[in-house]
Amino acid sequence: MKKIDPAKLPRHIAIIMDGNGRWAKKNALRRIAGHRAGVKAVRTVVTACREMGIRYLTLYAFSVENWLRPQKEVNALMTLLGEYLEKELPTMLKNNIRLTTIGNVDVLPQKVREILIDSIEETSRNNGMVLNLALSYSGRDEIVRAVRKIMRDAGEKSFDPDEITMQTFSGYLDTSGIPDPDLLIRTSGEYRLSNFLLWQTAYTEFYFTDVLWPDFSRQDLNKAILDYQKRERRFGLTSDQLPKD
Task: Give the Cβ contact number of residue 76 at 10 Å.
Answer: 17
CB 206 within 8 A of CB 182: no
For residue 175, the one-letter residue type is T
130, β-bridge pairs: 56, 98
* CA 192/CA 65 separation, integer angstroms: 15
8-state DSSP, 110: H
Q: Which listed residue (5, 27, 66, 153) is catalytic?
A: 66
Cα torsion angle, 117, 11, 37, 210, sign: positive
Compute CA distances 109 → 105, 116, 145, whole Å.
9, 10, 21
CB 135 within 8 A of CB 99: no
Q: Does 118 participate in catalysis according to the annotation? A: no
CB 13 within 8 A of CB 181: yes
For residue 54, the one-letter residue type is I
Three-state secondary-structure class, residue 136: strand
Q: Does 75 participate in catalysis according to the annotation? A: no
Nearest to 4 by CA among 38, 48, 69: 48
* CA 111/CA 105 separation, integer angstroms: 12
Q: Which listed residue (18, 174, 182, 220) is catalytic?
A: 18
Residues catalogued as catalytic: 18, 66
